[in-house]
Amino acid sequence: MFEEQIFPTLSPDEPEEAEDTEKDAPEEADEAADTAGEEEATADEKAEGDKPQLIFGKYKSLEEAEKAYKNLERSFGKKSTEAARLRKELEQLRTPAKDEKTEPDPLEEVLKDPDKWMERLYKEGPKAVLEIVEKAVERRTKPIEEKVATNTYMEQVRQFREEHPDLDEYAEDMAEWLKAHPKIAREPDALETAYKAVKFDRLMETLPSIVSEASKTKAKANLDKQAARMPSGGRQTAKEPTPEDALAASLLAEDRKARGIFG
């Protein structure tokens, strides 16, 4: 009682101070944790800021990204071209040409009239079956064989052009020559034979003009020599020979040669 009278407010206040202390402790811990988290986040952001920024998350520079894009575009272009070529070849194999007569499918003929087929089977036996199978196989493999043959010929022409750079000059005449000589066209060296034949024909066509030009040149040279040997008299000047003079001189020279050999 004595203590309560002397310090009337001491006992009630002590529990309140304890409670305030207990409340302040968690708040201080939370503030410390928040401060540590902010410092850690700031350190992470600083570390990320020091790292170089990657373009598209992969490339270190714009030049590297542009180079990769060009490579990708080039690869895509090649694949697109190859796909278009293959698609065209498949369409050619599946679709017969308009000017070609499509042969009837022998299997469809059998299904169309089975009674007739059975009657033929009884009469001819395995022969009838073998004929149907051969026709069916030929009908399906013929377009492929023709395509393979075409590719083979194109490869031969490509190689031949590499060996003969002037092929384009004679190509049309060679094609006409091979049409006129179908047996030779089936030979392995058909291109070489046609090339030599056409080139020889061209040479024979131009040979007369070459000989004539050479004769004129030679005749003019002879006249120039004769004029040089003639004594100069007064104001006489060498006369320029006409084409007729050159031709006459050429004939005269050939006549002299003949007389010298046989005379």
Confidence at residue 1, expressed as pLDDT on a 0 to 100 scale = 42
Token output for 27: 């708040």
Query: Mean pLDDT in each 10-residue stretch from start to end of the chain (263 residues)?
Result: 40 46 52 58 55 66 74 66 64 52 62 73 74 70 66 76 85 86 83 86 73 63 60 54 56 54 45
**Residue 126 CA: distances (Å) to CA of 52, 105, 139, 244:** 81, 19, 20, 85
| Residues 191 and 166 sit within 8 Å (Cβ to Cβ) | no
Listed residue (244, 238, 174) closest to 202, CA to CA: 174
Return the domain boundaries, the chain: 53-81
65-88 pLDDT per residue, tens = 777 767 766 766 666 676 666 666
Confidence at residue 18, expressed as pLDDT on a 0 to 100 scale = 44
Confidence at residue 3, expressed as pLDDT on a 0 to 100 scale = 38
Confidence at residue 262, expressed as pLDDT on a 0 to 100 scale = 45
204-242 pLDDT per residue, tens = 777 666 666 666 666 566 666 665 665 555 445 555 655
| Residues 195 and 164 sit within 8 Å (Cβ to Cβ) | yes
| Residues 105 and 139 sit within 8 Å (Cβ to Cβ) | yes
Confidence at residue 246, expressed as pLDDT on a 0 to 100 scale = 58
Greatest Cα-to-Cα distance within the chain, rounded to the nearest angstrom: 181
